[in-house]
Amino acid sequence: MNFFTIPYVNRKYTCLLIAVLFGATVLSAQQSPEQRLLELGIELKEPSEPVANYVNAVRTGKLVFLAGKGPRTPEGDLITGKLGKDLSVEQGYDAARAVAILQLAVLKSELGDLSRVKRIVKVLGMVNATEDFTDHPEVINGFSDLMVEVLGEKGKHARAAVGMGSLPRNIAVEIELIVEVED
């Protein structure tokens, strides 16, 4: 018998057991998003001010609308290129993950504490892609996966992942989101 012949439910528990036995970190209900970021080795930097006539976030009631952000390297350079031509799906995934880090920094700046996030409600992921590229969801998974890694169930969201003929400054992806917050 190998791992893939174990029924799905048992595989789930087998993975959990392996994680516990080998010291892997399991996101607990008591663990704060900031603690989870530390464990992942992610440092949130102060978000930059927009260079045009808009703001990073607008709060109305219990919702925060975050402006679209493009991916940057840890050094601050834009991650550019067109998926299906210049970048692989894996590179696009990493670019979307980089945007997630930037958006978490905006949220932290806006809320003061990421524990105030009640739920990521909606994500719009735009992929700079060739017209024959069709793996948009796999690219935007880089964003979605990190939201769940950091926020647990609160990070699960409705989403659109769409292709664009171009994006500003030739960035690989641009992602905006709507977040529900606790009072």
In tens, the pLDDT along 89-138 reads: 999 999 999 999 999 999 999 999 999 999 999 999 999 999 999 999 99
Check residue 133 and give its pLDDT: 98
Give the closest residue to 121 by CA, choosing from 80, 176, 165, 81.
176
- Separation of alpha carbons 112 and 101, rounded Å: 15
CB-CB contact of 112 with 158 (8 Å) = no
Query: What is the b/e burial string over 66-95, where b = at least 16 CB atoms within 10 angstroms of the residue's CB?
Result: bbbbbbbeeeeeebbbbbbeebebebbbbb
Mean pLDDT value of segment 36-60: 95
Check residue 154 and give its pLDDT: 97
Give the closest residue to 146 by CA, choosing from 177, 168, 113.
177
CB-CB contact of 39 with 25 (8 Å) = yes
Q: Kindly report the pTM of this predicted structure.
A: 0.84
Mean pLDDT value of segment 26-40: 81
Q: How confident is the model at residue 84 (pLDDT cuts 50, 70, 90)?
A: very high
Check residue 51 and give its pLDDT: 85
125's CB contacts (< 8 A; 6+ apart) are 96, 136, 139, 140, 143, 159, 160, 161, 162, 173, 174, 175
Question: What does residue 83 show for φ and ψ, rounded to 5 degrees?
Answer: -65, 140
Check residue 183 and give its pLDDT: 80
Average pLDDT, the chain: 89
Mean pLDDT value of segment 19-38: 68
Angle at 84 between CA 147 and CA 142, to 5 degrees: 10
Check residue 166 and give its pLDDT: 98
User: pLDDT (tens digit, 9 = 90+) per residue, 157-182?
Assistant: 999 999 999 999 999 999 999 999 99
Mean pLDDT value of segment 63-71: 98
What is Dmax (Cα atoms) for the chain? 61
Give the closest residue to 96 by CA, choosing from 130, 62, 139.
139
Q: What domains, with CATH codes, occur in the chain?
A: 31-181 (3.30.1330.40)
